[in-house]
Amino acid sequence: MLIILQFNVTQLGIATGLCLSEATNKYLRKTNSRIVLWSAIGASISTSLAEILGGAIALNMLVDIPIKIGAILVTVFVTIMMFSNSYKKIERYVIAFVSLIGLSFIYELFLINVDWETAAKSWVIPSFPQGSMLLIMSVLGAVVMPHNLFLHSEIIQSRKVKKRDEQSIEKQMKYDFWDTLFSMLIGWAINSAMILLATTTFFKEGIVVNDLQQAKSLLDPLLGNNAGVVFALALLFAGISSTMTSGIAAGSIFAGMYDEPYNKNDIHSRLGVVISLGVALLIIFVINNPFKGLIISQAILSLQLPITVFVQVRLTSSEKVMGKYANRPFTKCVLYIIAGMVTFLNILLLISFFTE
């Protein structure tokens, strides 16, 4: 789903020169566009909440700082870096470190005994164990993040594709297809590795996971006694970098309401960032169970996802918006099937609240 949706929204950015937020504001009725965009900002807030919490938990693991104090530190640090643009200086180091930890999860698959036959079946045949819908939808929301669709269409503008001729546009679309495919497949492999490791480490041993700090044991086979420190550092860097992306996404969405691209020096972009990070921080102060808060915040993303997907498909299927690059019938059909699947899963999630 993510590969298809990410590439599709990139086509919107390349073909129109508009991000998803700007296109929504331009081509939808004002009332409808406001509902869509404010719900997308809500999704960004949910992500910021989870990422700030992740960073705060990491600080707690490293230096025993209370979660709420750690949340303030992470929020202030990220805000300063975003508005000063200094995050670009450490971006490569963050990506390198987090990628290293992610790849170490994949490497560990060779150190444990995985039931590959069952794993292969489970990759393609879904199952819904009793009481699992909240977790399933939180995973869906954490992977196919709706605010990232807005962000991805914004980022493509930073490549400064000045030439609007067909050859340049098609060349950029082809490049971005392979770029999206490569990066999303790596993400898929790392996510799969973590699930397989969790199954082997926790499920087979009958261990109930109710604390994020338990996840450090996934790295024990590779790093031994240092696993906790390395995992906490990776969690801290991942939390910081992901808080930045959710903040930028909110800035892009809010600026789009005023037909503006994201600009860290623009008041509307800055307001979007402050709304996302500020509201998330306030919510953290009223959460009693940080681990449960992580799960619920990501499930909220899945509830907003159908709204973003249906709007995206409508825009990218419109010749008025996309011209000759509008979705072909087969592509449109695939995208609507994805939107329908996500909607159906969310209905199951809502039903589970009353039946489980």
Q: Domain residues of the chain, as ranges?
A: 2-355
Cβ-proximal residues to 269 (8 Å cutoff; 6+ apart), any chain: 251, 252, 254, 255, 260, 262, 263
Dihedral of CA atoms 89, 95, 101, 104 in degrees, nearest 10, equals -130
pLDDT for the residue 240:
86
Q: Which of 106-110, 116-120, 267-271 has the lowest mean pLDDT?
A: 106-110
**How would residue 267 be classed by pLDDT, with cut points 50, 70 and 90?**
very high
Q: What is the mean pLDDT of residues 9-18?
A: 86
Has this prediction a pTM greater than 0.75?
yes
pLDDT surpassing 80 at residue 112? no
Cβ-proximal residues to 328 (8 Å cutoff; 6+ apart), any chain: none
Do residues 97 and 237 touch, judged by C-beta distance below 8 A?
A: yes
**How would residue 273 be classed by pLDDT, with cut points 50, 70 and 90?**
very high
Which amino acid would we find at residue 144? V
Q: What is the mean pLDDT of residues 118-145?
A: 84
**How would residue 34 be classed by pLDDT, with cut points 50, 70 and 90?**
very high
**End-to-end Cα distance, the chain:** 28
pLDDT for the residue 21:
92
Q: Which of 2-11, 89-98, 126-135 has the lowest mean pLDDT?
A: 89-98
Choose among 211, 225, 279: nearest CA to 67.
Answer: 211
The correct answer on CATH 1.20.1740.10 for the domain covering 2-355 is yes
Q: pLDDT > 90: what percent of the chain? A: 26
pLDDT surpassing 80 at residue 64? yes
Mean pLDDT of the chain: 83
Residue at token pair 């801290």: 236
pLDDT for the residue 124:
86
**How would residue 148 be classed by pLDDT, with cut points 50, 70 and 90?**
confident
351: tokens are 């039903």
Do residues 210 and 202 touch, judged by C-beta distance below 8 A?
A: no
Q: Which of 123-132, 226-235, 285-294 has the lowest mean pLDDT?
A: 226-235
Do residues 223 and 240 touch, judged by C-beta distance below 8 A?
A: no
Q: What is the mean pLDDT of residues 101-116?
A: 78
C-alpha–C-alpha distance, residues 256 and 246, integer Å: 15
Residue at token pair 């950029």: 172
C-alpha–C-alpha distance, residues 90 and 101, integer Å: 17
How many alpha carbons lie under 13 Å from residue 30 in its C-beta half-sphere?
2
pLDDT surpassing 70 at residue 310? yes
Tell me how far CA of residue 331 lies from CA of 7, 35, 141, 327, in angstroms. Answer: 11, 26, 23, 6
C-alpha–C-alpha distance, residues 305 and 280, integer Å: 19
Q: Which of 19-33, 119-133, 166-180 has the lowest mean pLDDT?
A: 166-180
**DSSP E strands: which ranges in 57-188?**
none
**pLDDT tens, residue by residue, 164-190:** 567 677 777 777 778 778 878 888 888
